[in-house]
Structure 1
Amino acid sequence: MKRRLVIIGIGGASCSGKTLLAKHIRRALPSGATIIHQDDFAPPVEQVPYSPDFPDLQDWDDPPTCILWPEFRDTLRHVRSTGVLPEVHQSHDHLNKQVEVEIDSGVFERARARFTQIEADSHARGESIVWYIVDGFVLFWDKAIVDMLDIRIFLRVPHDILKQRRDERQVYVLQTGGVWVDPPNYFSNIVYPAYVKAHADMFESGDVENGQLATAWEERVEVLRPLEGAEEMTKAFESSCEAICQAVRKGKGTELD
């Protein structure tokens, strides 16, 4: 049976809900999916530069340096050519605290039924779908990465909600087994400015809060606006599944063999 690879990219600011959304979508896919977390490609602590504006703070969020981009690109290229992760790839996502937000069971079951039908139709054509989901806080910064994503979803969450969630989270587990705790004002001084820098070109006048999608991005990304609670996450999940189903029906993906 032939295999078709479909890579779904879910981007958004730190604490926008992208990893939670990715896991809800994975649960809805009958054959499951492999999630690649961009955070797993953060540099080791000794390679993280200090902010030129705040010399006492290491900057884990500046787009050019917050990810080991060559390694990240190589991993996605390997997945696109083989359908599997490199053997050396490891994730530490399971060590991070995550706030669980459930979604409406009826919406979930309808999405699962649609995915089930899509996979059944593919099998009838002699094809199986290999699903990958990539989530990341600077996922759309690098053009080579963007081009390797078949479906692109961006979670656009307002500043105040992002700040509240980041303040509540605070602690991040590092690949080395250590932890990072946000210093005072880290969100305002480092995290949010880096988010704007990474996504300004996606929106007219660089307005990540309220600007319209820039022309170059209109056909490339689905922008969602999840806010607080189960109702909003349900809407984001439903819209994401709709976008995925439409894209796959139109033939998005790469034939592996």
Structure 2
Amino acid sequence: MDDRKAFIVGISGASSSGKTTLARLLRDVFPNTFVLHEDDFYRPETELPYKEGLLDWDCAEAINIPDMKRALEHIRAHGTFPPFVDSKEDQNSIGACPVSDAAISAAKVKVSSWLQPGQPGHAILHASNLRICLLDGFLLYSPQLESGRIPLLLDAKLFLLVSKARATQRRQRRDGYVTLEGFWADPPGYVEKVVWPNYAAAHAGLFVDGDVEGRLDGGVLREKGILAQVDAGLDVDMEVTFKWAVDILMRELEGVLGKKEGEGKGEGERER
């Protein structure tokens, strides 16, 4: 039987697609939940490469993939936040919440009902003490992280879409980012020269004809087990995305319960 201590959910997409906002919203709705950030695994600034004459924080080479893998393995084995990870991302602000209080309250009521005795959520999260880890990151399904076997450690894989224009607008509103060395603010032209080209190159394989502002390739998504709002288009309202993600997470967690029950029946049949 699956003896996992945590259910790990990947939330990926371009920079400023809403990954961290969604992760924090889901953490507030589901019990026994914590957030891990890909950004917590940045290498020291002195080890980062350059692109177009600018320091490149938005490529796989900037991430310590072995350390990320080690952290995910710890979470699966122990169900706790890795004690060797010092989160810098949680020190960054993400602005006002784009989801209404009414939508958040409705989600909490929905999840609370799902967690009551006799309901699927009770057996999954209460009876088994399973914890949920939400891993947000801009490269989780990229070829480089696939080579590092990161996707194999994810139990559910959500992918958020955003247009170049919206991503640029959102990123430019940010003050900057806390780093190991102090603080980083995007230099002029950083999104156009580094962020978006890196995103497009790393995710072209998920889209028809490689157009990251076009249609997702359904066959590729199914092959990789990636879940996305395929028919919703770009720049979906975060409230819509939040409701979708709540439903997806409950459904995927129920799959864990179904798997356990199926394995239990199989063991009983072998005993007979």
Tell me if both proteins adopt one fold, taking TM over 0.5 as the criterion. yes
Q: Which moved more, 1:216-225 or 1:19-28?
A: 216-225
2:172, 2:83 → 1: CA distance? Answer: 35
Q: Give the match for residue 187 of structure 2.
A: 183
| TM-score normalised per structure 2 | 0.82
Normalised by the length of structure 1, the TM-score is 0.86
3-state SS in 2 of match to 1:184: coil
| Residue 86 of structure 1: how far off its partner (Å) | 2.5
Higher RCO, Cα 8 Å, sep 6+: 1
Structure 2: gaps spanning 5 or more residues: 261-272
- Structure 1 counterpart of 2:186, one-letter code: D
Q: Secondary structure at 2:132's aligned position in 1?
A: strand
Aligned mates of 1:105, 1:96 — CA distance in 2: 22
The alignment of Structure 1 onto Structure 2 pairs a total of residues equal to: 245
Distance 1:138 1:157, change over 3 A: same
User: Which protein is richer in helix relative to its size?
Assistant: 2
Q: Which runs of 4 or more aligned residues in structure 1 lie more than 6 Å from their structure 2 counterparts after TM superposition? A: 252-255
Provide the rounded CA distance (Å) in 2 between the counterparts of 1:24 and 1:100: 12
Aligned mate of 1:77, from 52, 73, 78: 73
- Counterparts of 2:109 and 2:156 in 1: how far apart (Å)? 20
Looking at structure 2, the residues matched to 253 and 43 of structure 1 have their Cα atoms a distance apart, in angstroms, of 40
Q: Which residue of 2 aligns with 1:227?
A: 235
Taking structure 1 as reference, are residues 235 and 123 closer, same or farther at Cα in structure 2, changes over 3 Å only? closer
Number of the residue aligned with 1:210: 214
In 1, Cα distance between the equivalents of 2:113 and 2:82?
30
Specify the structure having the higher radius of gyration (Cα). 2
**% identity of equivalent residues:** 30
Q: Partner of 2:111 in structure 1? A: 115
Preserved CA contact (<8 Å) 2:208 2:217: yes
1:57 aligns with 2:54: yes
Q: Provide the residue aligned with 2:242 in structure 1.
A: 237
Displacement of 1:87 in angstroms is 1.6
Question: What does 1:40-55 align with in structure 2 at a 5 Å threshold?
Answer: 40-51=40-51, 54=52
Q: Equivalent residue of 1:86, what SS? A: coil
The separation in 1 between residues aligned to 2:169 and 2:139, in whole angstroms, is 20
* 1:97-133 Cα shifts (integer Å, max 9, x gaps): 2112242334323322332244333545842231110
**Alpha-carbon deviation of 1:68?**
0.6
Equivalents in 1 of 2:32, 2:80: separation in Å? 14
- In the alignment, is residue 166 of structure 1 matched against residue 171 of structure 2? yes
Q: SS of the residue aligned with 1:135? A: strand
- Do the aligned partners of residues 153 and 145 (structure 1) sit closer, same or farther apart at CA in structure 2, a change above 3 Å counting? same
CA contact (8 A) 1:204 1:213 kept: yes
Q: CA RMSD in A?
A: 2.3
Which residue is 1:156 aligned to? 161
Q: Is the 8 A contact 1:83 1:130 kept in 2?
A: yes
Q: Paired residue for 2:23? A: 22
